[in-house]
Amino acid sequence: MSFRELRSFAETMRLLGYPNLISMESFRTPNVELVADCLYWLIMRYEPSAEVTYNIERESDRVNFFRQVCEVALLKGRIKLHIKKLYQSDGHAVQEMLKLANVLKKAMRSTTDEELDFAGIQQMAAQKNVNDAKAVQQLCSDLTADGSSLFFLIEEEVSSRGDRQRVLSRATEVGEFERRLRELLASVGQQVDQLQQSITNLAADETNLEQKIENKKTQLERAQKRYKSLMSVRPAFVEEYDRHEAELQKEFVQYLEQYRNLEYLEYQVARHNATEDALLEEQETKLKVMRERLRKEELKALRSEGGRPLSGMPAAQRSGDEDDDHHNKRHVRNAAEEGSSTEDSDDSDEGAGPSRPQNALGRDRGSAGGGIGGAPRAAMMDSEEEDGEALDTLRKARIASAMVGDRPTVNPIRRHQPDSSDSDSTSDDSSEASTDDDDDDDDDSDDSSDDSDI
């Protein structure tokens, strides 16, 4: 190893385009990684298709790598590398790598020179005569045709070699040759006659085809003339067609306008119905709340008043009470029948239009079609009938006590308990009766005011 070899190797690698930097001190000590990288790069530049495994992790891998590099260099470039010096990975390895690097350097320089010569040749070829270029092109095509024919003749020679050897091995007889030639001439004459017949047939076919072509051309000209004449004539129904088309356009515009108006009106009706349904539902809810509130207030007012059991009344009073009971029952039954008829009428009207709910006094009010259904309405009517019966019972007790002069001390809805004070003044009874009448009048006025509010 010398300094000149190190410098030459570094300059050569830089000239060849090695991507890494190589220092002069890189090979003072063994450097396996750098040597392996340089060798792999050089061998790939020399033979890109070489199968070299770049693996230097273990000792066996390094030995295998250097052996592969030496084999490729020997087989592809006839360059003998010393594997032991390469394995040392120092200056001795630089001597071996320099052999391969110099070969690549010479190839690069020769390629540059050849490129310059090739440019000169192109310049000379451009100055040649055009006739010479055509002659060369014709010669090239003739050469290609002659080569292909020669190839096929050689193939036929291989197949006919046995026949030729067999004929040449026999004795030549003039009579046999003449007979063979006459047979060949007869076969050729037959082929000529067949070809003449086919030519005659083709000529007849050609004449027929030309006649057909002429006929088709004549028909085409006639069709074109007729087409032009028909295009120039305006049919009678075209005006009527145009008129109907214009009317159809107008009708379509009207239809489109009416359809849009209908869609808009249906939309407005749907919105109006939805608004009315919401208002009716809100009124129904308020009505139910008001009914419940009035019922609770009346029950509360009646429960707040004490009463005496009905067992202590006189017989005349009991008979009067029984008559009143019979009258009240008949009145309740008639009211129930009227309510059922009202419900039937409501149910019958429900299919024709939106149903109309009732207010606190039982009068019809407008309601939405999607309001209270049949089952909830029946339950509400049952509860109203029960409350009405309870109120009638309490009112009968109050009226009876007012007529007799006795005031019940026990709430009729609850369990009847005896009262210790059975004797009250007549003035108290009369005042109580008047108070009850006033309460009834107040209740009626409240109901009427509630109805007016609703």
The tens place of each residue's pLDDT in the chain, 454 residues long, gives: 577 888 888 888 888 888 888 887 888 888 888 888 998 998 888 888 888 888 888 888 888 988 988 988 888 888 888 888 888 888 888 888 888 888 888 888 775 555 555 565 666 666 666 667 778 888 888 999 999 889 888 888 888 888 888 877 776 677 887 888 999 999 999 999 999 999 999 999 999 999 999 999 999 999 999 998 888 887 778 888 889 999 999 999 999 999 999 999 999 999 999 999 999 999 999 999 999 999 999 999 888 875 544 444 444 444 444 444 444 444 444 444 444 444 444 444 444 444 444 443 344 444 434 444 444 445 555 666 666 676 677 666 666 655 554 444 444 444 444 444 444 444 444 444 444 445 555 554 444 444 444 3
Residue 23 lies in a domain: yes
Angle between helices 91-126 and 32-46 (to 10 degrees): 20
Contacts of 393 (CB under 8 A, 6+ apart): 412, 413
CA 207 to chain centre: 65
Residue 90: count other Cβ atoms within 10 Å of its Cβ. 17
Give the H or E element holding residue 89.
Answer: none
SS3 string of 49-69?
CCCCCCCCCCHHHHHHHHHHH
Cβ atoms of 33 and 55 within 8 Å: the answer is no
**What is the secondary structure of 400-447 as a DSSP string?**
HHHHHT----S-TTS-----S-----HHHHHHHHHHHHHHHHHHHHHH
Specify the pLDDT at position 138: 87
Burial track 235-251 (b if 16+ CB lie within 10 A, e otherwise):
eeeeeeeeeeeeeeeee
Cα separation of 90 and 29, whole Å? 6
Q: Is there a domain that residue 181 lies in? A: no
Domain that holds residue 84: 3-110
Q: How many residues does the chain have?
A: 454
Task: Tell me what pLDDT residue 253 has.
Answer: 96
d(CA 364, CA 345): 11
Report the distance separating Cα 415 and Cα 430, nearest Å. Answer: 26
Per the CB < 8 A criterion, the answer to whether 423 and 409 are in contact is no
* Tokens read off for 348: 């019958």
Question: 322-350 in b/e burial notation, b at 16+ Cβ within 10 A?
Answer: eebeeebeeeeeeeeeebeebeeebeeeb
Q: Is 284 a member of any domain?
A: no
The DSSP secondary-structure symbol of 310 reads G
> How many whole angstroms separate alpha carbon 400 and alpha carbon 323?
11
123 lies in a domain? no
Identify whether 98 is part of a domain.
yes
Residue 364 phi/psi, 5° resolution? -70, 145
The SS3 of residue 358 is: strand
Number of domains composing the chain:
1
**Structural domain includes residue 81:** yes
Dihedral of CA atoms 128, 130, 131, 136 in degrees, nearest 10, equals: 70
Angle at 35 (CA atoms; ends 32, 38), nearest 5 degrees: 145
* Domain presence at residue 76: yes
Q: What is the pLDDT of residue 111?
A: 58
In a domain, 35, yes or no: yes
